[in-house]
Amino acid sequence: MRRPVLLVVAHGSRDPRHAATVHELVRRVRALRPGLRVETGFLDFNVPSVNGVLESLDAEGVRDVVALPLLLTRAFHAKADIPAVLAEAPPRLRIRQAEVLGPSPLLLAALERRLYEAGLTPADKSSTGVVLASAGSSDPEAIAVIADVAREWRHTGWCAVRPAFASASLPRTEQAVRELRELGCARVAVAPYVLAPGRLPDRVARGAAGADVLADVLGPAPEVAQVLLERYDAARTPVLTALGA
């Protein structure tokens, strides 16, 4: 029996770097799982749209799809926007919505990868304070998850880890940088907890002006691609069980 198609559902952005990064990540997922069909759909700004991809799959005779939100937390898009779009899919499609990517130990590994690529080394951890800079959300659950991730990451040996947000919530990146300076950390690094470039990641970068190190976005890090496949596999299992496979 064919495996369900993996549909990666991305937010979309007017910034062309966003879609380019999403497509690069999807190519890495395909490389990790040869034979798995992986499609990409966008909620806004970019094409193809999620609805367009689902209609095309239905026209081809595809019947099983795992829709995976390309999101780090379960905020409004995961709880409302994406389910609403999937509810408009052709009725012959059997669709399961996978869990969002975070939290995951693999994402922490990806964050550290980006910091080391930006110039830090494992020997710097105990003297370096890190700002975990996310896009931000008005959803209390999403904010709580970011705070939990920061606490968990702190326990891996960093001098300190502070969450920060580019929108909707406080503190901002520049505030967290100042807090870590005042705490006495020898150096301060900013780790964007975002998947692709865009307006909010650019705001994070501006807020990192007073830091010593600014890491890149998570993007197509191999750990991120692995998380996508883990979420796909977890969502796929009930599909196959229901079909008697």
Orientation of helix 105-117 relative to helix 140-154, angle to 10°: 60
pLDDT 10s digits, 53-97: 999 999 999 999 999 999 999 987 789 899 999 999 999 999 999
How far is the C-alpha of 185 from the C-alpha of 202, rounded, in Å? 25
Residue pLDDT, tens place only, 126-173: 999 999 999 998 889 999 999 999 999 999 999 999 999 999 889 999
Q: Residue 241: is its pLDDT beyond 60?
A: no
Token digits of residue 133: 């800079």
**pLDDT of 240 over the 50 cut:** no
Strand order in the sheet with 213-214: 160-165, 128-134, 187-192, 213-214
- Residues 37, 237: contact at Cβ < 8 Å? no
pLDDT at 238: 62
Residue 77: the pLDDT is 77
Task: Give this prediction's pTM.
Answer: 0.94
- Check residue 2 and give its pLDDT: 84
